[in-house]
């Protein structure tokens, strides 16, 4: 268990984070605009997709997920799968009563 040899990460330039932030702001503007356009039942789906993209950006760039080992990606995957199953299976009840 000798972890003395952790290679120091490259220090990311500040501009990287600024660009990430910009992308998030643009996506926020998009989602607000789209909400006003009324796609009916698709609206919620579009909103959730954009929210998903924003979250991926935060995870990948702000939370450094792209630099992490597969194990960390697995934690994310497990979390998402758990939520999808919990909500999905509950809906087999809710929707079909």
Partner 1 sequence: MANHAVVADTSEVSFYKAKSRWGEGLFSWIFSTDHKRIGLMYLALMSVFFLTGMSIGFLMRLELIAPGRTIVGPETYNVFFTLHGMIMIFMFVVPGLSASLGNFFLPIMIGAKDVAFPRLNLLSWWLFLAGSIIAFASLFTAAGPPDTGWTFYAPYSIHTGTNVPMACFAAFVLGFSSILTGLNFVTTIHRMRAPGMTFWKMPLFPWALYATGWVQVVATPVLGITLVLLILERFFGIGVFDPAKGGDPILYQHLFWIYSHPAVYIMILPAMGVISEIISVHARRPVFGYGFIAMSSVAIALFGSLVWAHHMFVSGNSELANFIFSLLTMVVAIPSAVKVFNWVATLYKGSIALETPMLYALSFIFLFMIGGFTGMMLGILSIDVHVHDTYFVVGHFHYVIFGGLGFAFFGALHHWFPKMTGRMYHQIPSKISWFLLFVGFNTLYMPMFILGWEGMPRRYYDYLPQFHHLQVVSTVGSWILISGVIIMVVNLLRSIRTGPVCTELDPWGGGRTLEWTIPSPPPLENFEEIPIIDRGPYELKPSEAK
Partner 2 sequence: MSQSVALVGHRDYTGSKLGMWMFLATEVILFGGMFLLYAAYRSDYPGDFHAAAGELNTLVGTVNTLILLTSSLTMALSIAACHHGNRKLAMIMILVTVIFGGAFMVNKYFEWMTKIAHGIYPSSEFLLAHPKGEIIFFGLYFTMTGIHGLHVLIGMVLLVGMFFKVMNQPNAQVSFLSGHGLQRADGGRLAMLDPNGVPLWKSEPIDDTMERVVVKTKYWPVKSRFRVEDFSLLENVGLYWHIVDIIWIFLFPLFYLIT
Q: Does 63 bind partner 2 (CB under 8 A)?
A: yes
Distance (Å, whole) CA 86 – CA 48: 18
Who's near 24: CB < 8 A, 6+ residues apart?
54, 57, 58
Residues near partner 2 (CB under 8 A) are 1-4, 6, 8-9, 11-14, 17-18, 20-21, 24-25, 28, 31-32, 35, 43-44, 47-48, 50-51, 54-55, 58-59, 61-63, 68-69, 71-72, 75-76, 78-79, 82-83, 86-87, 90-91, 94-95
């Amino acid at each position: 268990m000798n972890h003395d040899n952790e290679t120091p990460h490259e220090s990311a330039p500040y501009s990287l984070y600024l660009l990430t932030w910009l992308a998030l702001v643009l996506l926020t503007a998009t989602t607000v605009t789209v909400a006003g356009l009324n796609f009916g039942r698709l609206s919620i789906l579009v909103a959730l997709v954009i929210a998903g993209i924003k979250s991926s950006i935060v995870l990948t760039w702000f939370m450094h997920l792209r630099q992490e080992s597969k194990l960390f990606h697995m934690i994310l995957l497990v979390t998402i799968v758990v939520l999808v199953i919990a909500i999905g299976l509950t809906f087999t009840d809710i929707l079909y009563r």
